[in-house]
Every structure is written in structure tokens, then in C-alpha cells.
Amino acid sequence: MDQTISLSPSEWRLMDLLWEESPRTVTQLLHISQREIGWSKATILTMLSRLEAKGAVRHEQGPRAKAFYPAIPREAAARAETEQFLQKVYGGSLGSMVNAMVREISPQELSELRRILDQAEQEV
């Protein structure tokens, strides 16, 4: 991602709907969000406008309605959020974060972490 895009929790929910399936119209987003979240059409339009201004969403004019697409991959957004969190909470130190987390994880999670680290080491 060229620029850091910070998403609010509500924006993440809307982006998840677009990452799940695209394109989607405002009407489609409204039907889904009314069932699951309870958002109004005005809320969705406002959030889509903000997400477009941030560069996270784009749209194309369809024959009857605008079709909205994610403009960034989910992985890039997650990576940017993780980097922001790491910087804010742990001063950018991954080691400090891992040290804090391993004190709180279960033996099963510790085994999973070992497996992930072993795999990463083999890929380097």
C-alpha cells in the first residue's frame, strides 16, 4: 500500500462485505447491513464516501446503480493496521509484542506459534 489507510471498526465491517463479494451496490449493502448491523442507507453512503476519499473503495457506474469494489486487498489493510498497532502500543518492536503475548497464550497456541516460526524460518 503506497499510503497508510486507517479504517475505523465500522469501516472494517463494510470493507469485509466488499472483500467477501464484489461488486456490490448500495442497495445490496443496505440489505445485508440491515439484517446484520442495522445501518441506514445514509450511513452506508457516508461510509462509502469516506472510504473512497481514503482510497480504500472505488466505484463504477453500472446501468442502474454504482457498483462498489475494494480498492485495496484485505491483506494490505490488515498489514497496515498491524504496523500502526505495533508502532502505537509497542514502539514498533515486534519482539516486545511477542514477549507480552507469549505470557498469555495457551500451550496449543504456543505450539501453533512455534509451527508458524519454523515455517517462516524455512521460507527465508
What does the pLDDT look like over 33-52, one tens digit per residue?
888 888 999 999 999 999 99
**Pairwise pLDDT comparison (47 vs 5), residue with the higher score:** 47
Please give the model's pTM, rounded to 2 decimal places.
0.79
Beta strand pairing status for 57-61 and 66-70?
Answer: antiparallel
pLDDT at 3: 58
**How much of the chain, in percent, has pLDDT values that exceed 70?**
98
H-assigned helices in 1-124 = 9-20, 26-36, 41-54, 74-90, 94-102, 107-123
